[in-house]
Amino acid sequence: MFFTYLRRELRRRRKAALVVASGLALGIALVIVVNSVSTGMSRAQGKVLESLYGLGTDLTVTKAQERPEDGSRPQRPRFEFQGKEEGEEQSSDRLMVQGFQTLADSTVASVAGQPGVDRAVGGLSLVNLKINGEFERGRIQRGQTQQGQPGGENGQNGGAQNGQNGGAGGGSGPGDTVTGGGAAFDVDSFTLYGTDVTAPDLGPLTTSTVSRGRTFKTSETDAKVAVVDSAYAQEQGLDVGDELTVKGIEFEIVGIATADRGQSAAQVYLPLKQAQTLSSSASKITTIYVKATDSTRIDALKTAIQKNVTGTTVTTSADLARTVSGSLDTAADLASNVGRWLSYAVLLAAVLVAGLLTSSAVTRRVREFGTLKALGWTSGRVTRQVVGEALVNGVVGGALGIAIGLVGAYAVTVAGPTLTAELGSVGGAFGGGGGGRGGTVFGGGPGGTATGRTVDIALTAPVGITTVGLAVLLALGGGLVAGAFGAWRASRLRPADALRRVE
């Protein structure tokens, strides 16, 4: 009788039932879509962060920014060209530590010894900068009014401006004019990363996949081998088996690696010891990559390292996530703030409307319930009937909502809108990306502040079992809450009052 009565009542009031179910469906669909998009955002952010320091890294340790001493200037790249004969080539090949801040590689052991640290490996980020070119002297033409007066001859133009010719010179006397002259310089730069080949599963190289050749062997701690980023290799016409010269030393390219997304962490990867030797940074590293034993206690580990290993800055993925801006950040904010609360507000409104409709249906059925009570139906039986009807509405709404939500989430994944993540600066954190030729040449800058980096990532909206479970619970909860409105009224109904009210 319960199900017969239930079925007939829902069929009789199918419009009202449809309104209630549709309202719940809308709310539940919104919850699913917003939750799945939010999950997609989190994953996108995770991928963006992974692209910076690789899989499995929970935090990084770098040297803390130091205040320059009074009178001293912050370290910057510096080039000196000596006066040479006209047309004679001038060049400078500098291999610099990115950010100019290093830690002793013994710090790796100190960090690894902290409780809560599973593993720690060090790496050295470098920038190779080659400048090649020549100066051309300017020609002085003496002014008439100044004729006979001595003037500077062969005044020299100054100011090399990144490979552009230009600049009128000085060195002439009053009334003289200088024509021609200038400088032409080529700038070639690329980033290098000295990696600990004994720990191939931790560090920036894990963000790339070796597409040709192989990665380093764990035995190649001091071998003259290199892995080159595919974009840089294409630009330079390099391939596996070719030689790459760094500071006059030749390295055999054993592999070409392609960044999983965005830019690679460096354009050239060398064994750490080779990188240290080339840059005259023996026993120095720039960054320590740390994997924690418990990923839920990252903040505690950060505090412990900062306290116990002095002079370091510890950066977690959460710190880095705070520097993410761009459309990914905007969309993530929208999803987590506006979207989530909007979906819950819609759901709450739907439940309230469902409750009011159920309550109103009980009012219309006062005589019906009064009669049933007169026939011997207990309040509990009448209540169960009312709640049962509301629950079915909730289940129908939930099923509809889950279906709509899954379609919505699927549509988002298929459409895959591209979001741009801009990673801002983090003091003492990760080095900037390799960039193209002439890109982030001075990545890191003084104190190792990471420069901005842009990563494009396609948005997905994965629907997890938790989200579906949440939707089912919301549907049943919504139905029960809606039913409770009516049930409360039905249970308080006294048969005499009910019958008297309608007779």
Partner 1 sequence: MYELIGVTKQYRRGQTRVDALAGVDLTLDQGDRLVIQGPTGGGKSTLLQMLGGLDRPTSGRVLLDGIDLAALSERRLTAVRGQNIGFVFQSFNLIPTLTAQENVETALVPLGIRPAERRGRAAEALESVGLGERRGHLPSELSGGQQQRVAIARALVKRPKVLLADEPTGNLDESMRDEIVDVLEGLWKEHGLTFVMVTHDSAIARRAPRLATIRKGRITIKENRPAAPAPVEA
**3-state DSSP call for residue 212?**
strand
473: contact with partner 1 by CB under 8 A: no
List the beta strands (DSSP E) in 382-437: 418-423
Residue from 367, 466, 473, 501 in contact with partner 1 (CB under 8 A): 367
Give the Cα separation of 466 and 32 in Å (integer): 10
Distances from the Cα of 243 to the Cα of 212, 249, 250, 274, 341, angstroms: 15, 10, 6, 15, 58
State how far the Cα of 409 lies from the Cα of 41, in Å rounded to an integer: 13
Residues 222-281 that bind partner 1 (CB under 8 A): none
Which lies closer to partner 1 via its Cβ, residue 50 or residue 389? 389
Q: Which is nearer to partner 1, 84 or 500 (CB)?
A: 500
Which amino acid, 419? L
Residue from 109, 348, 473, 496 touching partner 1 (CB under 8 A): that is 496
Q: How far apart are CA 301 and CA 4, in angstroms?
A: 62
Residue among 81 and 377 whose Cβ is closer to partner 1: 377
- Our finding on whether 76 is near partner 1 (CB under 8 A) is no
- Extended beta strands in 339-437, E state: 418-423
282 binds partner 1 (CB under 8 A): no
CB closer to partner 1 out of 247 and 367: 367
> Quick one: which segment of 136-144, 269-277, 404-412, 492-500 binds partner 1 (CB under 8 A)?
492-500
Q: Identify which of residues 302 and 489 has a Cβ nearer to partner 1 in the complex.
A: 489
Which residue, 190 or 369, has its beta carbon nearer to partner 1?
Answer: 369
Residue 479 beta carbon to partner 1: minimum distance, rounded to whole angstroms: 20
Q: Is 373 in the site for partner 1 (CB under 8 A)?
A: yes
**DSSP type of residue 174:** T
What crossing angle do the helices spanning 14-53 and 340-364 adopt, rounded to 10°? 160
Amino acid identity for residue 400 in this structure: L
Asked if 492 touches partner 1 (CB under 8 A), the answer is no
Task: Give CA–CA dist 174/126, Å, rounded.
Answer: 47
Q: By CB under 8 A, is residue 85 in contact with partner 1?
A: no
| H helix or E strand, kind and range, residue 140 | strand 139-141
Q: What residues numbered 10-39 form the site for partner 1, per CB under 8 A?
A: 11-12
What x/- string results for residues 380 through 419 when contact with partner 1 is judged by CB under 8 A? -x--------------------------------------
Q: How far apart are CA 485 and CA 97, in angstroms?
A: 70
Q: Maximum CA pair distance of the chain?
A: 132
Label residue 66 exposed, middle or buried (CB < 10 Å: 0-12, 13-18, 19+).
exposed
Token couple for 15 = 């419009």
Interface pick for partner 1 out of 9, 196, 329, 389 (rule CB under 8 A): 9
The least CB distance from residue 377 to partner 1, in Å, is 6
- Is residue 502 near partner 1 by the rule CB under 8 A? yes
The reply on whether position 379 binds partner 1 by CB under 8 A is yes
Q: Which chain residues interact with partner 1 by CB under 8 A?
A: 1, 4-5, 8-9, 11-12, 367-368, 370-379, 381, 494-496, 499-500, 502-503
